[in-house]
Structure 1
């Protein structure tokens, strides 16, 4: 679906705009996303593309991220997201994907947008990118091996464990927790409960 030429162009551009460490991470997420997509019967090409572009705006200045996000989302984003680069970069990357590379697949764009914050109701592709960002081969943090093992068994449980990992980390660091993370975690628990009892 997405040509090798387009993927190579994106990789070349990212190699120029990201640090070596971040670029390696992006390649790791694209590879992990592809593996997860194959495992769970999702579109591996879409997963790889979303993985490649998920951090395309990560190292831009906040003002630039804000301008990019406004073009894609108007004033619909939470003010906390708009003021926080670590939350905003996925939403900004949607505009990069659309305007620089002509990507208009709503599923791919949503996966890019929500890879950090999550969302109350995520598609399978959104969950794959959310999880791939945690478990790519270069990641090294307490609990990553548990997440990797879980990702081979149950995508939904891994999404929940990802939320828990982020919240635990922020608590340990005495950092603020974006309220949306808690809202999205609660929605994931409810969704899993409905799936069990449905």
Structure 2
């Protein structure tokens, strides 16, 4: 299936025009970041487009769907099942859109919580979802400016900091994988000065 076919199918499957526009915007943002950080623009384009393809699944059904797809369910997922749309998105991208590239599937699966040892594509999709032009939250303009002048790992640490602060302010649980992802990057910076 080519990109245009994926686009048409996604538009039909998503039950919300806003989500479709968001998906296109994440795809476009991912291409720009991929170009800047010298990774595959085509992979970024596809991963960005399909990152929310599981948002068609009602939140109340996400845990059952995750079980059907043998996706690991953490305790936090029981309380915040919306987090499962990312790994489920990877499964759906494979099943319904024919994606077999493990890098694209990983980027889709990790776009909400991250993990230690993320690839550059994983990071770009995480960031693109966070800063695409339709996103509007306190501090986004400053974060976009910060992104323009820093390296990918420094940007990711700050992105995790922002995400964790937001979660704490909402008095929600922080996914353990997000903590591991942030700690891994901090450790890399201390070890290698990156």
- The answer to whether TM tops 0.5 is yes
Distance 1:189 1:70 in 2: 33
RMSD over aligned CA atoms reads 2.0
Unmatched 5+ stretches in structure 1? none
- The match for 1:56 is 53
- The match for 1:12 is 8
Secondary structure (helix, strand or coil) at the match of 2:128 reads helix
TM-score normalised by length of structure 2: 0.89
Distance 2:143 2:160 in 1: 11
Note closer, same or farther for the CA distance 1:38–1:71 as it changes in structure 2 (3 Å cut): farther
1:67: how far off?
Answer: 4.7
CA deviation vs aligned residue, 1:86-129 (integer Å, no higher than 9, x gap)? 21101001111111122111111110000000111100100110
CA deviation vs aligned residue, 1:134-165 (integer Å, no higher than 9, x gap)? 11010101121122123223211111111111
1:166: how far off?
Answer: 1.2
Q: Does 1:190 align with 2:187?
A: yes
TM-score normalised by length of structure 1: 0.87
Note closer, same or farther for the CA distance 1:129–1:173 as it changes in structure 2 (3 Å cut): same
- The match for 1:24 is 21
Distance 1:45 1:150 in 2: 25
**Partner residue of 2:157 out of 150, 157, 160:** 160
1:69: how far off?
Answer: 3.4
**Size of the alignment, in residue pairs?**
192
Whether the aligned pair in 2 keeps the contact of 1:29 and 1:51 (CA below 8 Å) is yes
- The match for 1:138 is 134
Distance 2:116 2:148 in 1: 23
Note closer, same or farther for the CA distance 1:101–1:124 as it changes in structure 2 (3 Å cut): same
1:12: how far off?
Answer: 1.6
